[in-house]
Amino acid sequence: MKAPALESPRLMYKPLGLGHCTDQYVGWLNDPEVYRYLETGGNYTLDMLRDYLEGVERTEILFWAIHLKENGKHIGNIKIDPVNWKHGFAEYGIMMGERAEWGKGYAHEATRRILDFCFQEVMLRKITLGVVEDNAGAYGLYRKLGFETEGVYKRHGLYQGKYCNIVRMAMFNPMIDDE
Ligand SMILES: CC(C)(COP(=O)(O)OP(=O)(O)OC[C@H]1O[C@@H](n2cnc3c(N)ncnc32)[C@H](O)[C@@H]1OP(=O)(O)O)[C@@H](O)C(=O)NCCC(=O)NCCS
């Protein structure tokens, strides 16, 4: 499934693609504050980003660029991938790259919009995610949104030179009663 264009009060969501291949985006992937708890980042180049975005464009994937409505600025990305169509669950991920825009409720607004799309239009049953326990910003965001912890992978991944716990969280579609 391809990502459709969506919007919410302050934000627009466009399918991520080659049009988003910018120095600004490369800058996010080389900003340790941004990639500290991510799986990629550091020593990134425009060529690497172009290759990556070419791959995204060729794929059926729910992957959006998040833009500010007020000025069109690209401030981050959000994705629902992979999707398990048989069981009706899918994995969520977000990166707000523009640090100047942190703390304004944009990740919360974007996640809420994409969850509504997944639950109301795609009719997915369950959205899952993994977060490094030390990533206070993301962990706080997910708890505020209502994600619940399903388990903890102990000392699972190496971040900042330390083996950290990964918290697995999930939210069920309130419109589907599967019990
Ligand atoms: C984590 C991230 C997505 C938060 O984006 P953001 O736009 O600043 O978040 P919001 O402003 O929407 O915050 C919403 C809520 O999240 C929580 N939160 C956000 N930052 C927080 C922080 N540093 N500490 C604790 N809670 C925080 C709060 O509950 C906040 O609500 P409040 O402001 O009413 O208290 C962003 O910092 C980011 O992309 N970081 C780098 C990449 C990353 O770590 N992605 C997640 C991987 S699992």
pLDDT tens, position by position, 161-170 = 999 999 999 9
Residue 152 pLDDT class (50, 70, 90 cuts): very high
**Probe ligand 1: pick from 28, 68, 102, 112, max atoms within 8 Å of CB?**
102
- Which tokens sit at 14? 């466009």
Instruction: Please report, in angstroms and rounded to a whole number, the separation of the first and last CA atoms in the chain.
Output: 27
Residue 179 pLDDT class (50, 70, 90 cuts): confident
Averaged pLDDT for residues 76-99 = 98
CA of 140 from ligand 1 middle (Å) equals 7
Averaged pLDDT for residues 64-76 = 98
CA of 132 from ligand 1 middle (Å) equals 13
Q: Which fold has domain 6-172?
A: Aminopeptidase (3.40.630)
Q: Is the pLDDT of residue 178 over 90?
A: no
According to DSSP, the β-strands at 74-84 and 89-96 are antiparallel
CA of 102 from ligand 1 middle (Å) equals 7
**Probe ligand 1: pick from 96, 143, 149, max atoms within 8 Å of CB?**
96
% of the chain at pLDDT higher than 90 = 96
Residue 31 pLDDT class (50, 70, 90 cuts): very high
Residue 14 pLDDT class (50, 70, 90 cuts): very high
Average predicted confidence (pLDDT) for the chain: 97
CA of 159 from ligand 1 middle (Å) equals 18
Cβ-proximal residues to 128 (8 Å cutoff; 6+ apart), any chain:
89, 90, 91, 92, 150, 168, 169, 170
Averaged pLDDT for residues 79-99 = 98
Averaged pLDDT for residues 11-29 = 98
**Coarse DSSP helix, strand, coil percentages of the chain, rounded to the nearest 5 percent:** 30, 35, 35
